[in-house]
Structure 1
């Protein structure tokens, strides 16, 4: 790889990627990060507002990437026609591939790229990992900043002697115990996650330095760098930290995360979105569709029009049925019960009510 290593960060409109941009800007100002967003043409206005606010804060332009740039239609509509009106779904996420991943991979080309991903320390998922060997993902919010493919290669049993040698160069004060952990082969009783967790808990910085030494023997983009500032990173950021970063910076939390009250049978509930993404995202929960219907009726109407060809956003229900008064009442009643359950656990944020859906979907759309 002869080209300069590029550092890139995708802004989805979600809270996590926005907070990551601010975090890297504040903590690692030496990194020359390129920011981009993949515009489907179907985002809410609040997404574009967040992007503008970030540009002001960062003092840098966020590059707009659009699929089917030569088309006279929005990217989503262009590909929807190519797919014969077949709407994307959790089982067929053509929108993520065509509107997000393909434009990104075309933009970076064959350059060696470090892609920073905002998956948090309280999430148990990996997110999008490119199959292109010139793109390497880093996760600054987690204790383990490395992708699963890197960890799996490093911790192979046949690499134990190498790992021991690399640890010998770290001068860790936990070296004696680290040697014991490294020397124990992976097995059914001591799997890769067990080993990784033990090594990170003993000395995160030492583990990062070992990974960096290993990468020098590979073709990963980081192999061509002499240093990498995140090797010393020991931060673990969770959801509360993300909101704090956004508020403290002045960029602000995207408005679709802020809870809005509604009344039902004398009780007061609250609803919002759990994620960014297109206004008609099929990963939305029922209460989020109701939120869209009541807060952005013009967008909801457009979403309904996409179902005219017989395809639906949800497998079990059409949007025109979801907005019948008795159905809305049922959904709101269920939401109030969920709020009461969460309140009993003293949750700080409305988004916790919708948290079970947060792990669904591709990181390219939602973080």
Structure 2
């Protein structure tokens, strides 16, 4: 049996931080390595969170990337390489160079289980490495396995094996229904998602154990593990759980998630930042750029310094244009109107209703 490394990346955001705490509390027997990809352009609150986590975990959080050129921080190192070409939706070189490549270099060719903090109330898939030695696990979701594993496990050609894997388990009175679902082939009228959800509803632990048996027949890193404690995990954690974990642990919620009041044309509202990541992240909403300008003007003007020769952080306007008083007023008014359309949703000191829109955007490897 080859040794398997267990790793967990800390983005500086709430979900990855909560996952680190969750794993420490619930699975202390796992020797998890923690790492963070420091772009050199994070908010101070992000660095504070990482320091608090290190104190809580009692472990160093390894800092990536490691560059030979120590005269520049990571982002400025690569902006120099790209001759000032800013990253954006089309060319997301920041994710590749500052997140993915450093991570894959860090783990090398070792067998790795990578724990990812995508929640049970999110409908998206996290980063899945193309390297066969890295396997992603999602402890907060009902289905903790990645899409590639699910597709192979539930494939029509694997039905006899799935039947046999389940046959080793104590299924009780659900046995007949489970085997009925297993034997139904995926088709236009019966999707993989439908089959998966029915099996999960019939028993998350049973599904996990069957998949773990299946993985023993593959080259995935989990095939090398004699046992895996998360197969008995039936937790499903959503956004409210994440904030509770952070508060209860004493690590705390990063300040940039907390609502700050503002007023425009007699109307009051609140704004905050919806994500971790670089202070000039191009995935920010325009109201978040306004937040940055008003709460951290020094960082806003640093972001402005990168804009030149037609390169701008926002596709349709420059920061110099956005910072004009009449433009800020309009952005705030539009933001308030958008919030008013969502009044039926629960309000939160962390702007959870607005976060719902923003969290689905961006690179999972940056913001989980």
TM-based fold match above 0.5 = yes
Q: CA deviation at 1:338?
A: 2.5
The match for 1:145 is 144
8 Å contact kept, 1:67–1:98: no
The match for 2:226 is 226
Normalised by the length of structure 1, the TM-score is 0.98
3-state DSSP of counterpart to 2:307: helix
Any residues of structure 2 matched to 1:330-345 within 5 Å, and which? 330-345=330-345
Q: CA deviation at 1:67?
A: 4.8
Q: CA deviation at 1:69?
A: 3.7
The match for 1:8 is 7
Quick check: 343-352 or 218-227, which moved more? 343-352
The match for 2:306 is 306
The match for 2:365 is 364
Matched, 1:77 2:112: no
For the residues of structure 1 that align with 2:74 and 2:310, how far apart are their CA atoms? 21
Q: CA deviation at 1:309?
A: 2.9
Summarize deviations over 1:116-164 as a string: whole Å, max 9, x none: 0000001011011000111000000000000000000111111101100
3-state DSSP of counterpart to 1:63: strand
3-state DSSP of counterpart to 2:279: coil
8 Å contact kept, 2:345–2:353: no
For the aligned residue pairs, the C-alpha RMSD in angstroms reads 1.1
Matched, 1:111 2:110: yes
Q: CA deviation at 1:19?
A: 0.3
8 Å contact kept, 1:67–1:99: no
For the residues of structure 2 that align with 1:101 and 1:67, how far apart are their CA atoms? 13
Matched, 1:287 2:287: yes
The match for 1:263 is 263
Q: CA deviation at 1:258?
A: 0.5
The match for 2:89 is 90
8 Å contact kept, 2:275–2:367: yes
For the residues of structure 1 that align with 2:66 and 2:83, how far apart are their CA atoms? 18
8 Å contact kept, 1:67–1:102: no
3-state DSSP of counterpart to 1:40: coil
8 Å contact kept, 1:69–1:75: no
8 Å contact kept, 2:15–2:242: yes
8 Å contact kept, 1:80–1:86: yes
Any residues of structure 2 matched to 1:189-228 within 5 Å, and which? 189-228=189-228
Q: Give the direction of change, closer, same or farther, for the CA distance of 1:69–1:39 in structure 2 (3 Å limit).
A: farther
For the residues of structure 1 that align with 2:85 and 2:52, how far apart are their CA atoms? 35
Q: CA deviation at 1:342?
A: 2.8
Matched, 1:54 2:53: yes
Any residues of structure 2 matched to 1:162-201 within 5 Å, and which? 162-173=161-172, 174-201=174-201
Summarize deviations over 1:270-301 as a string: whole Å, max 9, x none: 01110000000000000000000011101000
Q: CA deviation at 1:269?
A: 1.1
List runs of 5+ in structure 2 lacking aligned partners: none
For the residues of structure 2 that align with 1:73 and 1:309, how far apart are their CA atoms? 22
Q: CA deviation at 1:71?
A: 4.3
List runs of 5+ in structure 1 lacking aligned partners: none
For the residues of structure 1 that align with 2:252 and 2:39, how far apart are their CA atoms? 23
Matched, 1:36 2:35: yes
Q: CA deviation at 1:185?
A: 0.7
8 Å contact kept, 1:186–1:192: yes
Summarize deviations over 1:161-191 as a string: whole Å, max 9, x none: 1100000001112111010000001101111
3-state DSSP of counterpart to 1:308: coil
Q: Count matched residues.
A: 366
For the residues of structure 2 that align with 1:111 and 1:277, how far apart are their CA atoms? 27
3-state DSSP of counterpart to 2:50: helix
Q: CA deviation at 1:353?
A: 1.3
